[in-house]
């Protein structure tokens, strides 16, 4: 009875929304977007609100960006290694254009993989869109009331320096573990999910189940 009274005195919904309003407003290309505007997803219910839209930290794109930069400058060094000299001259413009088209495709694909590999936290559930490569994606979700345990881990210099890490969510849903990889401010996300769990518990006590 005491626990029920205690839960009734706190108001997780108001606290959570105040917390989310307190974050700086971010654009659609950010990795941590609280209360995103102009975003809906396919299975979103009418009253369901998107609270957080998350992606891998921008710094995780560094390897492919560096690769692209190296690929862009390679043709400038061709005169030092003229290994295609046996080809007729008319082939070269095509090869150069083809090379840069290939780089554009590579960059575009890598960018899309980052952009669409998202994690959504709504007031009702968490959604994990894993976009592994252009031909393979997995979309899974779990209701907030099915979440059993939330934790995060930060390992290595980069994760500590740029403040990002993996969030591990244990659920009693069909998919038992969700891993939100390389998420910025993982401690904040864990706090938000814990708020939502408390809110769900309060909804059950008050009989406000949707």
Partner 1 sequence: MGAFTEVIDPGLVWLLVKILFLFGVAIYLVFSMTIYRQTKLMDQVLKISIKPSFKTIAIFYFFTMVLYFLLALILL
Binding stretches for partner 1 (CB under 8 A): 28, 38-42, 86-87, 90-91, 94, 97-98, 101-102, 104-105, 108-109, 112, 115-116, 118, 129, 131, 134-135, 137, 139
Q: Min. distance of Cβ 110 from partner 1 in angstroms? A: 11
Compute the least distance from the CB of residue 157 to partner 1, in Å.
Answer: 33
Nearer to partner 1, 16 or 52 (CB): 52
Gyration radius from the chain CA atoms: 23
Quote the least distance from Cβ 37 to partner 1, whole Å. Answer: 9
Nearer Cβ to partner 1 (94/160): 94
Nearest Cα neighbor of 109 from 131, 89, 124 is: 131
Residue placing its CB nearer to partner 1 in the complex, 16 or 121:
121
| 182 contacts 148 by C-beta, under 8 angstroms | no
Q: Which is nearer to partner 1, 66 or 96 (CB)?
A: 96
The minimum distance between CB 140 and partner 1, in angstroms, equals 12
Which among 161, 195, 185, 180 is positioned nearest to 117, based on CA atoms? 180
Q: Distance of CA 147 to CAs 17, 122, 176, 190, Å? A: 20, 13, 9, 12
Burial label, 66 (beta-carbon count in 10 A; 0-12, 13-18, 19+): exposed
């Amino acid at each position: 009875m005491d626990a029920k009274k205690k839960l009734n005195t706190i108001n997780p919904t108001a606290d959570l929304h105040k917390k989310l309003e307190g974050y700086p407003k971010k654009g659609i290309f950010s990795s941590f977007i609280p209360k995103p505007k102009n975003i809906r997803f396919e299975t979103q219910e009418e009253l369901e609100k998107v609270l957080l839209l998350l992606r891998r930290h921008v710094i995780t794109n560094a390897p492919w960006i560096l690769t692209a930069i190296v690929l862009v400058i390679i043709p400038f060094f061709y005169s030092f290694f003229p290994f295609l000299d046996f080809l007729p001259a008319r082939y070269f413009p095509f090869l150069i254009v083809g090379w840069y088209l290939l780089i554009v495709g590579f960059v575009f694909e890598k960018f899309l993989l980052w952009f669409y590999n998202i994690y959504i936290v709504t007031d009702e559930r968490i959604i994990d869109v894993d976009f592994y490569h252009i031909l393979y994606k997995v979309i899974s979700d779990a209701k907030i009331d099915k979440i059993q345990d939330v934790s995060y881990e930060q390992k290595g210099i980069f994760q500590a320096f740029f403040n990002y890490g993996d969030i591990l969510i244990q659920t009693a849903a069909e998919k038992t573990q969700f891993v939100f990889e390389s998420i910025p401010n993982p401690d904040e996300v864990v706090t938000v999910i814990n708020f939502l769990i408390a809110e769900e518990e309060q909804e059950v006590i008050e009989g406000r189940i949707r």
